[in-house]
Structure 1
Amino acid sequence: MLDPLPIPAAVVTRVDGAPQIVMANPAFVDRQLMPGAVSAIDVALLTELVSVASRNDSGKANRPWTSEDPVKTRRYDVTAARIEMPGLDWPHFLVSLIDRTSEIETHDSFRRETMRDSLTGLPNRAGFEDAVESRLAEQGSDGRVTTSGFAIITLDIARFSQINECAGSVVGDELIITVARRLMGRVRKTDIVARIGGNEFALFVPLRGSNPRELSRITSRIRDIFLNPYRLSDLEIQIDGAIGIALSKPGQTDCANYIRQSQIALKRAKRTRQAEIYTPEELDKARRRFTLETELRKAIELDRLELYFQPLIDMSNGFVTGFEALARWKDPDYGMISPVEFIPVAEECGLILPLGRWALDRACQVLNEWDAKAGEVLPLKVSVNVSAAQFARDDIPSMVANILRANKTKPERLCLELTESVVVSDPARAAKVMSALRALNVSLAMDDFGTGYSNLAYLQQLPIDVLKIDRSFISDMLKERDKVAIVRAILSLASALGMETTAEGIETLEISQTLAALGCSFGQGYFYSPPVPADEAYAYMITRMG
């Protein structure tokens, strides 16, 4: 866009310090290009311009000015420039105006567009931050604050990506629009609602006090949008959402920072399935997770991880029948990092795919190394965990087949351990993938059985070979009769379904003997051996082989 040309409006002189118009541009006056602009220019503005131009070496001064025209408000740049007028005692100045109205309107219109979400019509993230900061600036502009605080709330729609994949983007867009409408129907006039991400919304909520009941009522209203199913095209979908909250602190008005805090709380809310409020300790945890993600990525790329092995004992004779492979990470700076800490980080950031593939490939390599040491193919199975996140994102059957082929490992020597959440999240897909794995002759174990949502129909229909009884039922089972009853029931169920069983967390001889007497197939735990490096596992195996 070309800059508009300046239009000379008038010649102004200073008489006794007061500016006076001594000559007006006929085109300006007669053609009504800027009707009444010269006469309407504020005297104070002219006085300031002429005064500044008199002092400046350049002999110029420039100020913006808005003309409150009856038809349309117009905006100008007004310039006063000293001119030489021979024979006259008083200094004279040429006042010219540049009409910036169209330019400013175009800029404002573009800014409004860039601040708005095109799908819902709500503010986007930038628009939300701008609206919140403007609201807070208005409250403090005259020293009056209408609220004693505020909350920034972020809302995430659960399973949105799955809905998008299964039903299509049109249905996904319809869901976003419907959620936006329901949200707008449940907020107050003083609240601000925005869509700040694909399936994420944000709200600015003024608070009248520190009463937790007020915040509870607000979050309940927000959660109410998920009570009724969503009718989208020909589908009826029941969805849920997670809520993260950041509460304002005196003197802190950085909206972007509050959004980050609420998103940190949102991550915890996805795990707890409750509305969560940000606390300062969570920032330290978030920084720790970010550091772990960076270092874990390096560890995978530089092959700094190690696979440990915990023996699986045949309860009928006490011999080693296999091992469970477990990833271990010893960082040069942070020392040994627990898998309880780094596995969730890997799942969250997508590193679980390369990590899971590495673990399976390394387990097959170790089997080959042990066979070479023994001079024969050992009668061993190795169990490798497959996380729910990897199961959902990876092509597990192809990945397993390729790794087995590359290492020339017989599929009968591999057992994949899956959790119940794999089945619950998507039963149809789980059945399809598990059947494909079973077709490869790979064994399948249901890990941590009994701790989640156990559907007996799934157990009957899915090709599961082994039920692993969670350690929470095994530890102290001799002191609690209920635990013995649960273990006995699981063993009976497995027997009826033709499955073997593995008890985790065996730590005493008495528990080992009891489980053997009850008919448990296999056992593992610190009573036999903790997870150890491959060389130590091999040495242990040699002493306990049948």
Structure 2
Amino acid sequence: MQTAAPRGRNRSLKAAVSSIREAPAEPRPTVAEEVTERARQDYLDALPIAAAVICVSAGGDPYIDMANENFRQLTDWNGHEGKWASQVAFLQAGTIGRTLTAFLKTNEKARQFEGHDGKAIGGRHFTVGLARLKGTPVSPKRCLISLIDKTAQVETEKSLRAEMLRDSLTGLPNRLGFNEKVEALLEAPDFREGSHAVVVVDMHRFSRINECMGAIAGDELLITFARRLFSALRAGDILARTGGDEFAILMRLGKGLDDALQLADRIRAVLSAPFRLSELEIRVDCSLGIALLSGGVELAEEVLRNAQFALKRAKPTRGTQVYEPSQAKAARRRFSIETELRRAIESEELRLDFQPVIELATGELAGFEALARWEHEDRGAIAPSEFIPVAEESGLIVALGRWAIHAAAQTLGEWDRKAGKRLPLCMGVNLSAIQIARDDVPTLVEGALRDHGLTGDRLTLELTESAIIQDPARASKVLEALKGLDARVAMDDFGTGYTSLAYLQRLPIDVLKIDRSFVTGMLKDRDSVGIIRAVLSLADALGLETTAEGIETEALARALTELGCTYGQGFHFARPLGPDAALDYWLSRSA
């Protein structure tokens, strides 16, 4: 029969086994080795950073040979838990332990990386350095590990980044923060085309409210507006403030585009109640632009721009518009044309063609209308109907108009010199409403006449009704100044605008040009004939001459002559001609 071992004896046996597991088996050091070890420890303790010497046992497992006090404090290791790296929690968390083990298996001399202690809450960040040490008989592979605590720096950077991505007024993500969320969604492996949309909301009248009531009231309105938008969202939708009075929403689409349109309806519903600011109640409306996320879109900023493009189209009607790629393509082409048109004007790559103006009663050539033409070296011919609106929108119409007036006057002067006499021709040049508003047109015309030896009666300035309606007072001054130079004034495209008859009576206008939309189909349309009769009667009553545009057949020319129209132009007489061909045309008709 066996007797049980004393309890104290069992405790001593467990302690011995634990001691064997806790530390690597090492030979007993000599006195010289103890002195060397103390010197190494002193060296570690003298370092201002946390450091330790890591060795590899005969079995291939890393362990802590020695460490300074900084290392012990940073890693919460005091040596009693054991020296094996696998027993030190700090060396097992995150990438530090794996990188250390991998480094010891290589022949690298040094490595540096960013590490984390692995704690989800209150974790610390370090710059970890590994440097190879000379091996010893006991441990052929050793390295020095150093730790620089970067927790404060990392947390500060995180805080600054969070501030950088957040709108300080509303607490919502700002444009940069919103784009990061969209970018993350686009890069997600499970992203599906058409599964999400970006909705941009623009508040109407904010600048006016801000000006009238002050910045504090404006900020209060923005905060309240954001709260109402948020109340219209579903769980998971992301709201951001991407501009002064502009907000963006990233939403998941379960039912396709209908979900985004329903969101637009909910937003309008929550905005229907008036906003109370101080003692006032203010109603605020909005416009919305929607863009679907597709696999073809690589940048979040591009998605937002697409939604803003749709928003721009929605603003005139205060409605909701969905982004259409074809419309954006046309907008990019207009922008491209703007850039190239500026270059073309500066390098004088444009030219003028001249369309004959015929006196209908006699068939004689009365003059020409100068028309800008642009032959692009890559795109080919770009129609005036395409580049003239771009020029007006961008303001390039001022430079284009200056060039046209000088080029037309120069051509007319050259014809005189070639003919050896003053030709009985008048040159018509178009004026833009923007040019009248921004440029000193009378001085420009006076300079062109002087530079090319012309009198004012040989130049007809043609302007549209919109040029008069936009600023009647300025238009009146400009026209009076032009009449002071003896120049003629024609109102172009008459009948398509909203000119008051009082303007015709008050302004110094010489010619009414009947728009081609009335002329082309007049033989088949009684209404067009009636309009032309009315215009001709009005012109006769006011003592004005008339010019019909778009005459393409002999029958039209004959009918307009019978109705009493003064001049006509169109393909029936001639297409727009180059300078030399136009002069030859006059010579052939005058002969």
Q: Which TM-score band applies after superposition, normalised by the shorter structure?
A: 0.7 to 0.9
Matches within 5 A, 1:314-333: 314-331=359-376, 333=378
Structure 1: gaps (5+ residues): 231-237
Question: 1:289: how far off?
Answer: 4.8
The CA deviation string for residues 413-457 of structure 1, in whole angstroms up to 9 with x for no partner, is 222222333345555655555555455544333322222444455
The CA deviation string for residues 91-144 of structure 1, in whole angstroms up to 9 with x for no partner, is 55433222223443454456566667899987666544323113445xx46x58
Q: Which letter maps to 1:132?
A: V
Q: Residue 75 in 1 paired to residue 75 in 2?
A: no
The whole-number CA distance in structure 2 between the counterparts of 1:418 and 1:211 is 49
DSSP 3-state at the match of 1:203: strand
The whole-number CA distance in structure 1 between the counterparts of 2:221 and 2:457 is 50
Question: 1:370: how far off?
Answer: 2.3
Q: Residue 367 in 1 paired to residue 412 in 2?
A: yes
DSSP 3-state at the match of 2:375: strand
Question: 1:485: how far off?
Answer: 2.0
Contact 2:222 2:245 in 1 (8 A): no
Residue in structure 2 matching 1:64, options 109, 114, 125: 114
Query: Who is 1:233 aligned against?
Result: none
Name the stretch that deviates more: 325-334 or 254-263: 254-263
Query: Who is 1:149 aligned against?
Result: 195
The whole-number CA distance in structure 2 between the counterparts of 1:273 and 1:472 is 31
Contact 1:119 1:177 in 2 (8 A): no
Contact 2:428 2:461 in 1 (8 A): yes
Residue in structure 2 matching 1:8, options 41, 47, 50: 50
Contact 2:253 2:260 in 1 (8 A): no
Matches within 5 A, 1:7-86: 7-14=49-56, 20-21=63-64, 23-27=66-70, 36=76, 41=90, 43-45=92-94, 46-67=96-117, 73-84=123-134
Query: Who is 2:457 aligned against?
Result: 412
Question: 1:362: how far off?
Answer: 1.0
Q: Residue 470 in 1 paired to residue 470 in 2?
A: no
DSSP 3-state at the match of 2:523: coil
The whole-number CA distance in structure 1 between the counterparts of 2:500 and 2:515 is 16
Q: Residue 380 in 1 paired to residue 430 in 2?
A: no
Question: 1:350: how far off?
Answer: 5.0
Flag the 1:495–1:113 CA change in 2: closer, same or farther, 3 A: farther
Question: 1:73: how far off?
Answer: 4.9
Contact 2:198 2:250 in 1 (8 A): yes
DSSP 3-state at the match of 2:571: coil
The CA deviation string for residues 47-90 of structure 1, in whole angstroms up to 9 with x for no partner, is 31331221232354444334578995542222344445757448
Flag the 1:27–1:127 CA change in 2: closer, same or farther, 3 A: closer
Question: 1:363: how far off?
Answer: 0.5
Q: Which letter maps to 1:502?
A: T
Contact 1:182 1:225 in 2 (8 A): no
CA RMSD of aligned residues (A): 5.1
Q: Which letter maps to 2:529?
A: V
Residue in structure 2 matching 1:485, options 530, 548, 560: 530
Q: Which letter maps to 1:98?
A: I
Query: Who is 2:402 aligned against?
Result: 357
Matches within 5 A, 1:245-324: 245-250=290-295, 252-259=297-304, 261=306, 277-282=322-327, 285=330, 289=334, 292=337, 296=341, 299-324=344-369
Q: Residue 520 in 1 paired to residue 562 in 2?
A: no
Contact 2:116 2:124 in 1 (8 A): yes
The whole-number CA distance in structure 1 between the counterparts of 2:200 and 2:397 is 26
Q: Which letter maps to 1:150?
A: H
Flag the 1:144–1:12 CA change in 2: closer, same or farther, 3 A: same
The whole-number CA distance in structure 1 between the counterparts of 2:492 and 2:271 is 32
Question: 1:474: how far off?
Answer: 1.2
Contact 1:154 1:262 in 2 (8 A): yes
Contact 1:183 1:222 in 2 (8 A): no
Query: Who is 1:511 aligned against?
Result: 556
The whole-number CA distance in structure 1 between the counterparts of 2:270 and 2:463 is 34
Instruction: Report percent identity of matched pairs.
Output: 44
Contact 2:55 2:139 in 1 (8 A): no
Matches within 5 A, 1:169-318: 185-186=228-229, 188-189=232-233, 190-195=237-242, 203-209=248-254, 211-217=256-262, 245-250=290-295, 252-259=297-304, 261=306, 277-282=322-327, 285=330, 289=334, 292=337, 296=341, 299-318=344-363
Question: Greater relative contact order: 1 or 2 (C-alpha under 8 angstroms, separation 6 or more)?
Answer: 1
The whole-number CA distance in structure 2 between the counterparts of 1:413 and 1:227 is 61
Flag the 1:44–1:17 CA change in 2: closer, same or farther, 3 A: farther
The whole-number CA distance in structure 1 between the counterparts of 2:205 and 2:503 is 22
Structure 2: gaps (5+ residues): 1-46, 79-87, 276-282
Contact 1:49 1:61 in 2 (8 A): no
Q: Which letter maps to 2:517?
A: S
Name the stretch that deviates more: 68-77 or 216-225: 216-225
Query: Who is 2:84 aligned against?
Result: none
How high is the TM-score relative to the length of structure 1? 0.74
Q: Which letter maps to 1:469?
A: I
Query: Who is 2:183 aligned against?
Result: 133
The whole-number CA distance in structure 1 between the counterparts of 2:504 and 2:318 is 26
What is the total number of aligned residue pairs between the two structures?
Answer: 524
DSSP 3-state at the match of 2:454: coil
Question: 1:364: how far off?
Answer: 0.2
Question: 1:37: how far off?
Answer: 8.6
DSSP 3-state at the match of 1:404: helix
Residue in structure 2 matching 1:94, options 134, 144, 165: 144
Contact 1:10 1:94 in 2 (8 A): yes
How high is the TM-score relative to the length of structure 2? 0.69
The whole-number CA distance in structure 1 between the counterparts of 2:517 and 2:542 is 23
Q: Which letter maps to 1:149?
A: S
Flag the 1:186–1:270 CA change in 2: closer, same or farther, 3 A: closer
Question: 1:472: how far off?
Answer: 0.7
Contact 1:50 1:61 in 2 (8 A): no
Contact 1:50 1:93 in 2 (8 A): no
Question: 1:41: how far off?
Answer: 2.1
Flag the 1:159–1:44 CA change in 2: closer, same or farther, 3 A: closer
Name the stretch that deviates more: 447-456 or 482-491: 447-456
Q: Which letter maps to 1:362?
A: A
Contact 2:195 2:256 in 1 (8 A): no
Query: Who is 1:534 aligned against?
Result: 579
The whole-number CA distance in structure 1 between the counterparts of 2:265 and 2:567 is 48
The whole-number CA distance in structure 1 between the counterparts of 2:163 and 2:93 is 36
Contact 1:307 1:326 in 2 (8 A): yes
Q: Which letter maps to 2:90?
A: I
The CA deviation string for residues 230-268 of structure 1, in whole angstroms up to 9 with x for no partner, is 9xxxxxxx9999876542225755324434555666787
The whole-number CA distance in structure 2 between the counterparts of 1:447 and 1:532 is 20
Question: 1:297: how far off?
Answer: 5.0
